[in-house]
Copies of this chain bind each other. A is one copy, B any other.
Amino acid sequence: MRPRDSRRPPAAACYAAIMPNSQPRLLRACRRQTVDRTPVWFMRQAGRYMPSYRARRAQHDLLTLCRRPELAAEITIEAAETLGVDGAIIFSDLLLPAEPLGFRLSYSSGEGPAIEPVLRDRAAIAALPENRGGDLGYIAAAVAKVHAHFGPRLPVIGFAGAPFTLASYLIEGGPSRNFLATKRLLYSDFGAWALLMQKLCPLLVEMLSQQVAAGAAVIQLFDSWVGTLSENDYRHFVLPYNRLVIEAVQALGVPVIYFSTGTGGYLETLNEAGAAVLGLDWRVELDTAWRRLGYSCGLQGNLDPARMLAPAEDLRRAVKRLLDQTREHPGYIFNLGHGILPETDLEQARRVVEWVHEDNG
């Protein structure tokens, strides 16, 4: 892992300086430059749908795989090479920053993660340690290993949970249907929420800066649960903190992909946070979305992950349809609208990558 204050500029800046005309297509698309082929990767591309990953999980639990850089790097590399995708998202988990804040994480199969103790009041928030992410160096160490493996040929995608999604996990203690505890806090004690954001945002920025210093050329922020909020609540309780994190990361010279779900009613507001690319779920048409956004950002997505289970003919038509919707403007990255499902057939996923790469309009 490279320390934050290394004099080495971020990897993305290196690419740009050394090979101005041969940047990987994922990075070119993030900057809305023309590409030879549409870049493609999958959220959760290293996961249970992959036999080799299941074999590793039979030997180690999820936290061990995340915490041991050599294992996390191997999983990351294996998935990217098996699929032939245009980016290697680091194998990790968005809840890891909870540990240096004093929470215990556990993962039971089927029920999603559990975080203890739950965080419910201002006193508990005030008592959270100020942590600058030093304990999370193992993530950046894994990034460095993947970057050393691929060099400039394949960008490493670093990531973190966005502030709202991470906070809601801490407050709810796990996945939630209605996010009542989170909303109670938002609506009854904005000061406590702001205090929580003051604890989480610097930690996220530090953790992402470490990943960039270690070689991550793109950062994706996962705001998987933010779609539980109305646009007005998003604007008040979420947007300022997203903007802060996104600006801090992009100031390092790497583009941010901001991914959320259930937010098709207020894409314009998401875009105000300034991420280079918006990652969309499948509940909005890409061409409509891009028009609404005035083509002012890149777009990533947005095939329904369930479509990966469709017959190959049907799936191929759906892939073609997305590509057809995005030919007019540079800045499109093919992906699913959420993480790849465990039920997905690996061969089908590989075929999708081939179809995207073979496509030429």
Q: Does A227 contact B (CB under 8 A)?
A: yes
Q: Does A288 contact B (CB under 8 A)?
A: yes
**Copy total for this chain:** 2
> In the bound complex, how far is the Cα of B226 from the Cα of A283, in angstroms?
10
Judge whether B304 and A285 touch: CB under 8 Å: no
Of the stretches A46-54, A73-81, A115-123, A175-183, the one at the interface is: A175-183
**Most B CB atoms within 10 A — which of A188, A262, A264?**
A264
Partner of A188, one of B178, B265, B310, B341: B310
Q: Does A4 contact B (CB under 8 A)?
A: no
Convert A250-268 into 0s and 1s, putting 1 for each residue whose CB lies closer than 8 angstroms to a CB of B.
0000000000001111110
Instruction: Write out the residue numbers on chain B whose beta carbons fall within 8 Å of the beta carbon of A304.
Output: 183, 229-230, 233
CB distance from A167 to the nearest CB of B (A): 15
CB distance from A289 to the nearest CB of B (A): 7
> In the bound complex, how far is the Cα of B264 from the Cα of A284, in angstroms?
8
CB distance from A304 to the nearest CB of B (A): 6
> In the bound complex, how far is the Cα of B183 from the Cα of A305, in angstroms?
10
Judge whether A310 and B266 touch: CB under 8 Å: no
Q: Does A86 contact B (CB under 8 A)?
A: no
> In the bound complex, how far is the Cα of B284 from the Cα of A219, in angstroms?
28
CB distance from A71 to the nearest CB of B (A): 28
Judge whether A309 and B184 touch: CB under 8 Å: yes
CB distance from A159 to the nearest CB of B (A): 22
Interface residues of A in 314-361 (CB under 8 A from B): 314-315, 321, 337, 341, 343
Judge whether B178 and A341 touch: CB under 8 Å: yes
Q: With contacts A183-B306, A309-B184 known, is A285 near B232, CB below 8 A?
A: yes
Instruction: Write out the residue numbers on chain B whose beta carbons fall within 8 Å of the beta carbon of A188.
Output: 310-311, 314
Judge whether B341 and A227 touch: CB under 8 Å: no
CB distance from A344 to the nearest CB of B (A): 10
Interface residues of A in 172-197 (CB under 8 A from B): 178-180, 183-184, 187-188
Judge whether B179 and A306 touch: CB under 8 Å: yes
**Most B CB atoms within 10 A — which of A231, A262, A306?**
A306
Judge whether B263 and A283 touch: CB under 8 Å: yes
> In the bound complex, how far is the Cα of B304 from the Cα of A184, in angstroms?
12
Judge whether B187 and A314 touch: CB under 8 Å: yes
CB nearest to A343 among chain B residues: B180
CB distance from A18 to the nearest CB of B (A): 41
Convert A233-259 into 0s and 1s, putting 1 for each residue whose CB lies closer than 8 angstroms to a CB of B.
100000000000000000000000000
Judge whether A184 and B266 touch: CB under 8 Å: no
> In the bound complex, how far is the Cα of B308 from the Cα of A184, in angstroms?
10
Instruction: Write out the residue numbers on chain B whose beta carbons fall within 8 Å of the beta carbon of A230.
Output: 282-283, 285, 302, 304, 337
Q: Does A307 contact B (CB under 8 A)?
A: yes
Interface residues of A in 206-228 (CB under 8 A from B): 227
Instruction: Write out the residue numbers on chain B whose beta carbons fall within 8 Å of the beta carbon of A262.
Output: 227, 262, 283
> In the bound complex, how far is the Cα of B282 from the Cα of A178, in angstroms?
12
> In the bound complex, how far is the Cα of B317 from the Cα of A232, in angstroms?
12
Known pairs A233-B304, A262-B262, A266-B284; list 10 more (Cβ under 8 Å): A180-B343, A183-B307, A184-B309, A187-B310, A188-B310, A229-B283, A230-B282, A265-B265, A265-B285, A266-B285
